[in-house]
Amino acid sequence: MVPAEPPVELRFRRQLTYRKALGDLWHFRELVLTLGERELRARYKQAFLGFSWAILTPLVYMVVFTVFFQRVADVDTEGAPYALFSYIALVPWTFFSNAVSLGGVSLIQNIPLLNKVYCPREVFPIASTCVAAVDAACSLLVLAVLFLVYWYPPAWASIWVPVLFVVQLAFTLGVAFILSSALVYVRDLRHMVPIILQLGLFASPVAYGIDEIPTSFRWLYALLNPLAPVIDGYRRTVLHGAAPDLTLLGLGALTATVVLTGGYALFKRLETGLADVA
């Protein structure tokens, strides 16, 4: 009689160690750059405006927010021009949105490579995040112009920006890992992502300030949405010359760390079956 399952000693159990996984990822670091360059070329190769599309998206949102939110909602910007107030939040939000959108479908769009070439599968969402970072860097040119137009230079507290970006990047990569692996198994999520991101734009303090959130709920808001204290931190440091709210930023960093480590663990757990399912 043939047993229904193989004996326990013959079953394959993958032993995942983060040290080895990160070592493999470092070994394939050049592949990340190659994939990112290829994606950038494919994205803008025949586009009439080219890299200008990276600037147009946050710029259009800024114009819409300035025309409508500033007049209707009367947002308190603490003396900063509303165009700067909104645009400095749109840059990190656009980076997150693009990284999640591109990273989420990165495995599905690279099925031929998944089946033919061995490499750590996380190189694909990481490469897409790099592409989103290039777009965000391009959009900073408009921010520089706005500083000149309004004669409102960045404050000295901008030295906090790298710290804020690390928290933002950790959360972004974690979400990209979760979404990219989940989309291979549940394709319906692909249609839900744009809707969720659109809702997330208004659920994050982009068009308004974090002060609009009641103080008693602000800690929960930062815990559930790490982008909230990060965006607020960019405004506090760059526009107002103050340190970020370390309590809220700490809560956001905690969530970002959990999402990154949990998302990477989930990704590596599902990695072995990606090629078969895709």
Predicted confidence at residue 3, as pLDDT, reads 56
Lowest mean per-residue pLDDT among 40-44, 66-70, 137-141: 40-44
| pLDDT > 80? residue 143 | yes
Q: 4-18, 60-74, 98-112, 188-202: which range is least confident on average?
A: 4-18
Are residues 108 and 184 in contact, defined by beta-carbon separation less than 8 angstroms?
yes
pLDDT of 273 reads 64
Contact 253, 227 (CB under 8 A): no
DSSP label at residue 210: G
| Interhelix angle 227-234/82-104, nearest 10 degrees | 140
CA distances for 70 relative to 4, 84, 92, 170, 222, angstroms:
67, 12, 20, 32, 24
pLDDT of residue 16: 64
Spans of all domains in the chain: 28-40+48-277
Q: Kindly state the average pLDDT of the residues 97-107.
A: 90
Q: Which residue type sits at 48?
A: F
Quote the pLDDT of residue 24: 77
- Of residues 137 and 48, more confidence is placed in 137
The average confidence (pLDDT) of the chain is 85
The answer to whether residues 174 and 256 touch, using CB atoms and an 8 Å cutoff, is yes
Higher-scoring residue by pLDDT: 111, 259: 259
Entry pTM: 0.88
Q: Which helix (H) or strand (E) holds 225?
A: none
Place 18 in a pLDDT band, splitting at 50, 70 and 90: low
pLDDT higher than 80, residue 147: yes
